[in-house]
A and B are shown apart, each in its own frame.
Chain A
Amino acid sequence: MAAQRSIALKMNNVCKHYPGTLAVDHVDFEVNVGEVHALMGENGAGKSSLMKILAGSFSDYTGTILIQGKKVQLHSPKIAMESGIGMIYQELSLARPISIAENIMAGRLPKKFGFMLDRKQMLDESRKCLKRVGLDVHPDTAIEEISQHEAQLVEIAKALGNHPKILVMDEPTSSLSRKEVAKLFEIIEQLKKEGLTIIYISHHLPEIFKVCDRVTVMRDGKKISTDKVKDVTPEKLVEMMVGKAVDQFYTGHKTTIGDTVLKVNNLSRYGFFHDVSFELKQGEILGIAGLAGAGRSELARAMVGLDPIDAGTVELNGEYLPANTYPNSVREGLVYLSEDRKVDGLFLRLSVQQNIVAAIIPEHSTAGVYSHKHEDDTALEMIDTLEIATPNKLAESSNLSGGNQQKVLLAKWLACKPKVIILDEPSRGVDIGAKKMIHEAVIALANSGASVIVISSDLPEFVNLADRAIVLRGGYIIGEMSKDNMTEESILLAANGESKDMITQSEVSS
């Protein structure tokens, strides 16, 4: 009986199906009262689906869930909250223009006479919540007036306001500085002492070893193991996350590498990345490794001119590219396949064909008059080479599956015949067949003499594609890795700043 009371959460045989995949595959997961329990896994390993189940996002999971020995059915966010689950997401969920107090008390504002807002009680209660996270700011301050770090603490205070039994923190440190992380850990220790149970999701290995008691690793929707943190090593954890079986379909890219095509000189965008320099050769596939928040996408966007830069230059074939003008970069042959196809990638309401030709309109215009003649051929050729599964070339692209949408996006850039293409998460949320196709296309592109930069959190993909990798951490290049000592483990360790296989930046320059 006593033993049972000390178990805060018990998930038994929990499954969650998405069409075509089993995102959570018969998972048993147990968390003790008052412990900080780390949940780890690569992207797509199923940890976020598991936590979504806990948050009440799905009403169609199977299996049983017990919170402090009581069986619950978490079929809605409201039920989850009432059952004692508090969630803190990676992206803050606070409303920026309104005050801290209103954010903390949102949904349960205290009333006077049944209809009037009781301001005094609202301020008092939110002050109490803020005190628990050690934040000394007046609760009347608007969220937009406080720092990112303070907003993160308000987010925690807000979750605590609902008196949760279990608090889930998803990558809570991704936007914090080292000092702020230390402060957050103090708060976590404090909450732990108060008897709160915390599930801690993070990619950052050092954090796990600093703050967590036990760690559960997931891979491909299954639970791999649960261990005491003091019984495992970073290498062991990474090995479990990555799995020993290396995917067989990866073919690798071997090509002769030519002259320097792209040169990045001391590029900085303050607050995102600093003093970044590297070269890219013709026919080379260069990987940029790093954790989420290391500044990889920001670097890519600034290089091509989508985002502003504060210092430094980019040279393409020996000529300086003007900053902040993406249309010019595209014309010169430097293109960027964006991370989120639904935002700035695809024209979802337009046809597959219109998407494919979207970047080559200037090329087919003379004196401002555009010739449509090439469109049919270009579209059909791309649909053919990339095997895009679409009813016809005029189908609306939003009707395609994720994998085929991603192929359309790639087709748009292949149609421009780029000299350098930057691929940001080229196969995110894509099925294995489409992924293979995309990889083949990228390798074929490099073999044909174009140069490629790959940013990917998918480690097997990264290791397979990249000939060479630079490692970005906290906005700085901390080192470089050659193909020979690149493995999924070594990349992950390097991204965490703990690699032995990496040539560090100081060694490179000496």
Chain B
Amino acid sequence: MSRHQDQKVSIFERMGIYMVVIALVIIGSFVSPNFFTGSNLLTVLNAVALLGIVATGMSFITYSGNMADLSLPSVMAFSGIITVSALPLGLPIAIILGIIAGMAIGAMNGFVVGRFNANPILWTLAVTFFMEGFMRYVCGAQVYPDTTPGSSGEVFIAIFRIDDKGLLLNYICLFVNKIFGTSYVISFEIPLVVIVMFAMFMISHFIMTRTRFGVESKLVGSSREAAAGSGINVKRVVLMDFLFAALAASVGGIFLASMNKLGVFYLGKGYDFKAVTAVVIGGMFLSGGHGSMINVLGGVLVIGLLANIMTFLGINTFQQNIVTGSIFILVVGIQQYSLRKQGKDHG
């Protein structure tokens, strides 16, 4: 009985989410003739790219058994504010400072949760509350980049709008063509943020499966006590998980500030919950130690496709939130149920 159950779970785990992606693409094609076009699918990717970037970071929090980092929205806002404020120093330095600022919050979270075993949800919730006040008090209401032509601010607000006009991808094509003697040409433009998202997924997939840190995160997520009892430095692993999450959120935050052409404390709101939803829809267990980045990407795509289809159907944002929330509740419910059942089976 239990073995049969396990097999069903594992097939669903491995392929399930991409079957949902395919199903949504088919449904979308029925909903509107404009759905299955290159430009619309690119719109979907563009719309979920920021979420995808944040979700790569959130995945490590969930994977290591810390459930969710609710401070990621304030990490996003803070890195955006710092980047915009530091623009006079030049764009590269501004971006580096923005990322460092975001990761400072991650370092604090990771230290407190790892060292003192604080409840990650409550702790990061408190940090969000603190950071919101801090950003309003110290950084003022909003910071705008100086966008006069020729300034680094002008380049900054363009970051989100940069399309790879075939440049990068065509280099890849040239490379492929040279080796295999093919003649691929890419004719459409892919936004930089989408490329960064895919790059983040590739990097995090590598980290999760191929590095000592990734494997140890899995062990910590499966059982923190057993990991400590196996000689794993749990404190360090948890710290690194929170650092990586903050890194991803900072990158997302910089894109978000660029998109909005300003840095302000409320940018990033809602990304915490949406990212956890993507992670959980992607089959990662909220209890930790189980999941893969490939499936989390699937979860991100499902959220993007759903929103796109609902927009075609004329469903407004608030109603869409109801749907996303319901899906989260459903998926978590199923997960908890199956875990409990397994627990019972193991007696």
Bound-complex Cα distance A344 to B227 (A): 7
B269 within 8 A of A: no
Q: Which of A330, A346, A368, A370 contacts B231 (CB 8 A)?
A: A330
A369 close to B212 (CB less than 8 A): yes
B210 close to A399 (CB less than 8 A): no
B230 close to A370 (CB less than 8 A): no
Interfacial chain B residues near A412, Cβ < 8 Å: 230
Q: Which of B2, B211, B219, B226 contacts A369 (CB 8 A)?
A: B211
Interfacial chain A residues near B230, Cβ < 8 Å: 330, 358-359, 412
Q: Which of A306, A361, A398 contacts B229 (CB 8 A)?
A: A306
A361 close to B215 (CB less than 8 A): yes
4 additional contacts (CB under 8 A) given A343-B226, A349-B223, A350-B289? A329-B231, A348-B223, A359-B231, A398-B346
Bound-complex Cα distance A270 to B6 (A): 48
A348 close to B346 (CB less than 8 A): yes
Interfacial chain A residues near B228, Cβ < 8 Å: 306, 326, 344
B47 within 8 A of A: no
Most buried by A among B6, B225, B226: B226
Q: How far is the CB of A253 from chain B (nearest CB, A)?
A: 26
* B: contact size bracket: 20 to 34
Interface string of A329-348 (1 = CB under 8 A from B): 11100011010000111111
B223 close to A362 (CB less than 8 A): no
Bound-complex Cα distance A28 to B211 (A): 61
Bound-complex Cα distance A368 to B215 (A): 10
B216 within 8 A of A: yes
A365 within 8 A of B: yes
B233 within 8 A of A: yes
Bound-complex Cα distance A329 to B222 (A): 22
Chain A interface residues toward B at CB < 8 A: 306, 326-327, 329-331, 335-336, 338, 343-350, 354, 358-359, 361-362, 365, 368-370, 372, 396, 398-399, 412
Interfacial chain A residues near B212, Cβ < 8 Å: 361-362, 365, 368-370
B216 close to A343 (CB less than 8 A): no
* B223-250 residues at the A interface, CB under 8 angstroms: 223, 225-233
Q: Which of B218, B225, B232, B290 contacts A327 (CB 8 A)?
A: B232
A349 close to B225 (CB less than 8 A): no
B231 close to A335 (CB less than 8 A): yes
Interfacial chain A residues near B219, Cβ < 8 Å: 347, 350, 354, 358, 361
Q: Which of A345, A349, A359, A365 contacts B289 (CB 8 A)?
A: A349
Bound-complex Cα distance A372 to B213 (A): 13
B213 close to A346 (CB less than 8 A): no
A327 close to B231 (CB less than 8 A): yes
B231 close to A331 (CB less than 8 A): yes
Bound-complex Cα distance A348 to B11 (A): 21
B233 close to A327 (CB less than 8 A): yes
Interfacial chain B residues near A344, Cβ < 8 Å: 223, 225-226, 228-229
B214 within 8 A of A: yes
Interfacial chain A residues near B225, Cβ < 8 Å: 343-344
Name the CB-closest residue of A to B213: A368
A369 close to B231 (CB less than 8 A): no
Bound-complex Cα distance A348 to B211 (A): 22
Q: How far is the CB of B262 from chain A (nearest CB, A)?
A: 38
Bound-complex Cα distance A370 to B214 (A): 9
Q: How far is the CB of A360 from chain B (nearest CB, A)?
A: 9
15 contacts between A and B (CB under 8 A): A327-B233, A329-B231, A346-B223, A346-B226, A347-B223, A348-B223, A350-B218, A350-B222, A358-B219, A358-B226, A358-B227, A359-B230, A361-B212, A362-B212, A370-B215
Bound-complex Cα distance A329 to B228 (A): 12
Interfacial chain B residues near A330, Cβ < 8 Å: 230-231
Bound-complex Cα distance A370 to B218 (A): 13
Q: How far is the CB of A244 from chain B (nearest CB, A)?
A: 37
Bound-complex Cα distance A461 to B154 (A): 77
**Closest 6 A/B residue pairs (Cβ):** A330-B231, A344-B229, A365-B212, A344-B225, A398-B346, A347-B222
Interface string of B285-311 (1 = CB under 8 A from A): 000011000000000000000000000
Q: How far is the CB of B239 from chain A (nearest CB, A)?
A: 14
Given contacts A326-B228, A349-B289, contact A369 B233 (CB under 8 A): no
A370 close to B211 (CB less than 8 A): yes
Interfacial chain A residues near B346, Cβ < 8 Å: 348, 398-399
Q: How far is the CB of B277 from chain A (nearest CB, A)?
A: 23
Q: How far is the CB of B11 from chain A (nearest CB, A)?
A: 15
Name the CB-closest residue of A to B225: A344
Interface string of B1-40 (1 = CB under 8 A from A): 0100010000000000000000000000000000000000
A345 close to B231 (CB less than 8 A): no
A347 close to B233 (CB less than 8 A): no
Interface string of B186-200 (1 = CB under 8 A from A): 000000000000000
Interfacial chain A residues near B218, Cβ < 8 Å: 350, 354
Name the CB-closest residue of A to B219: A358
Bound-complex Cα distance A432 to B225 (A): 28
Bound-complex Cα distance A365 to B233 (A): 15
Interfacial chain A residues near B231, Cβ < 8 Å: 326-327, 329-331, 335, 359
B214 close to A338 (CB less than 8 A): no
Most buried by A among B215, B216, B290: B215
Interfacial chain A residues near B6, Cβ < 8 Å: 396
